[in-house]
Chains A and B, each alone.
Chain A
Amino acid sequence: MENLIALLVAAPLVGAALLLCGGKRLDRAGHWIGTLLAVASFAVAAVLFADMLGKAAGHRALHQHLFSWIPVGGFRADVAFQLDQLSMTFVLLITGVGSLIHIYSIGYMEHDERRRRFFGYLNLFLAAMLLLVLADNYLLLYVGWEGVGLASYLLIGFWQHKPSAATAAKKAFLVNRVGDIGLSIAIMVMFTTFGTFAFGPVLAATGDTGEGRLTAIGLMLLLAACGKSAQVPLQSWLGDAMEGPTPVSALIHAATMVTAGVYLITRSGAIFNAAPTAQLAVVVVGAVTLLFGAIVGCAKDDIKKALAGSTMSQIGYMILAAGLGPIGYAFAIMHLVTHGFFKAGLFLGAGSVMHGMNDEVDMRRYGGLRSYMPITFVTFGLGYLAIIGFPGLSGFFSKDKIIEAAFAKGGAEGWILGAAALLGAAITAFYMTRVMLMTFFGEKRWNPAEVHPHESPKSMTIPMIVLAVGSVFAGGLFSIDDAFVTWLEPVTSFAHGNSPVSATAVTAATIVVLLAGVGVAWLKYGRKPVPVAAPRGSVLTRAARRDLLQDDFNHIVFVRGGEQLTRTLVQLDHSLVDGAVNGTAASMGGLSGLLRRLQTGFVRSYAVQMLGGAAVLVAATLLMRSV
């Protein structure tokens, strides 16, 4: 059975190779090949999942060793896969949502002349993402980690002729690379500490190691997670990444790739459990980001950017949960899965709206679309209810558990984190209601003469329906008998937290803040008409529109500073380093110029010099003899 694992990665990889090298011959069949291979990968995953369910909980992990990759002295990196419950969860999410989005893209990208290439990139992404979650050591994980970064780069910049897309792609890759420094260093510290960086030995040996090294590893892994999962302070790329085609935003920048940071932290749970300082850093990052993303999401008028802010905020929840230790890991992953359903659904819905609105993204130019695209409206609405945590839907179960676990952290920390999580829930309800109202309700703010909103084709609506079903039922299904927690427990371990607040009180508080958020949003955007031109807004709104000035900060400090630095270095290279050499040459030239003057061209002056030289020689000889 374990031999099937490689097939999971191989199928989309073959697809990518075929589609990217196949040339124009495959233009007509390319999207079918890509979709087929993605679905094949999902089928393999389903087979493996069924097999796994048939085994006892403690013996479900599968290993497949393919070949020795980099063997040098004590450094042994292998290409080997490990499929346990955590990986399985991700594999199902990735291949499942991935397949749906492949299908969706057939319709969405129908008129794009480079559709074959698009599917090639999507397959490449699937392969890299599966490699990331299936790797059994950190270095192979790193390959997948950068591989998804590359796929993300290619897909964000898919419409390369738009300078904004090319810039956004570059920015995403660069910010991710900053995070990659963290992963590199973490692996190096692991190697010098344990002599290996395979999951098994490293995670088993955390007990014998000094806390200092573990804290270093933990903080570096957190840096990596911040880059990939768009957490503060490396979150600035995610908003710009919305330049990519919408299916890409749904798959990569909502459901799967951006959650890789959560996977990394959960996978390295043993390290974080033994390094409380690193854990504290994780929860702080999570809490700050969940508020940051939510605030940004409130101010954006671009539907995709509002959803991007929401993604950031929801991943903040997951990171927060993962930072809580064994009381949170399972809920982090559970929220990750439910989020995968509803956020992908929301993005696909947004894509469907844009598809019907001539690629308009400004919500101020939407309004009253519910009657024009009913399926989109219903599926988007279900996703909306799920994300705000409407009781009974997926988001409610997973988010509520995280808030509960945050309170259970204990002490002042627990209260602060719990309050932050609750506040985040309120803001989420506000901005999602805002999106909903501005898009589907109110009066039409578009020109009927130019825009003809219409429902999208079946290839697009079916994936949306499937995802909507998931958004509604997944959370409830997972919570029957704590099924999800039991499923993950052998990998992530689980501990019941002792919350100072009772679970019922937390749930009640969640529902109250939810209603408050929805209510405020209705007061602002439902009762009053929405102006087409954005009002000036308060200082906070204006800052939030500019991503809370983070880009400005980066621009001034890193871009300007860097430009200044490189310009100075170029000057120095020219004047100092090269100057020293050229200076030596020039001074040699000057010296010979001086000596040249002795050559007067008069024979008799040369004769005098000879005579003088001879006299000096004789004198020197005599002097030497007398001494």
Chain B
Amino acid sequence: MNPVNYLYLAALLFTIGAAGVLIRRNAIVVFMCIELMLNACNLAFVVFARMHGNLDGQIIAFFTMVVAAAEVVVGLAIIVSIFRTRHTASVDDASLMKL
């Protein structure tokens, strides 16, 4: 199968993720959408690795996964602590840091 089709898929997934981040208010959902974008990137990396015949893309995909895992840990911790204090997970409510 033509690997370019996988790139289209990756672009589609990224767009869906980006739209989700912009539209949804629930922090958990926003978070999932970010993960979706990251994974779309991973897919694109793997596809490029395959297309160009070297391993760089795959290695970067691994890096991304590790970073994403770390990010999930920190991010979820923040969301949970916000939910505990404010009893809501809406991202629009957490706007106290502006001046």
Contact = CB atoms under 8 A, between A and B. Distances in A.
Let me know if chains A and B touch directly in the complex, using CB atoms closer than 8 Å: yes
Interface of A: 596, 599-604, 607-608, 611
Interface residues of B, number: 14
A599 B91 contact: no
A600 B91 CA distance: 12
B95 A601 contact: yes
Nearest to A614: B18
Interface of B: 18, 21-23, 25, 30, 91-92, 94-99
A611 B21 CA distance: 10
A564 B94 CA distance: 60
Contacts of A603: 30, 91-92, 94
Contacts of B97: 601
B31 to A, nearest CB: 11
A599 B99 contact: yes
Contacts, number: 28
Contacts of B23: 604
A596 B99 contact: yes
B21 A600 contact: no
B91 to A, nearest CB: 4
Contacts of B30: 603-604
Nearest to B94: A603
B50 to A, nearest CB: 23
A604 B95 contact: no
Q: Chain B: interface secondary structure?
A: loop
B96 A601 contact: yes
B10 to A, nearest CB: 15
Contact of A604 (B22, B96, B99): B22
Contact of A602 (B18, B21, B95, B99): B95
A617 to B, nearest CB: 15
B96 A611 contact: no
A601 B97 CA distance: 7
Given A602-B92, A603-B30, A603-B92, A608 B22 contact: yes
A135 B98 CA distance: 78
Contacts of B95: 600-602
Q: Give 4 nearest A-B pairs by CB, closest first.
A: A601-B95, A601-B98, A603-B91, A599-B98
Given A603-B94, A604-B91, 13 more contacts: A600-B95, A600-B98, A601-B95, A601-B96, A602-B91, A602-B92, A602-B95, A603-B30, A604-B21, A604-B30, A607-B21, A607-B22, A608-B22
28 contacts: A596-B99, A599-B98, A599-B99, A600-B95, A600-B98, A601-B95, A601-B96, A601-B97, A601-B98, A602-B91, A602-B92, A602-B95, A603-B30, A603-B91, A603-B92, A603-B94, A604-B21, A604-B22, A604-B23, A604-B25, A604-B30, A604-B91, A604-B92, A607-B21, A607-B22, A608-B22, A611-B18, A611-B22
A608 B19 CA distance: 10
- The listed residue with most B CB atoms (<10 A of its CB), out of A596, A599, A601, A611, is A601
A84 B21 CA distance: 104
A599 B99 CA distance: 8
A380 B96 CA distance: 96
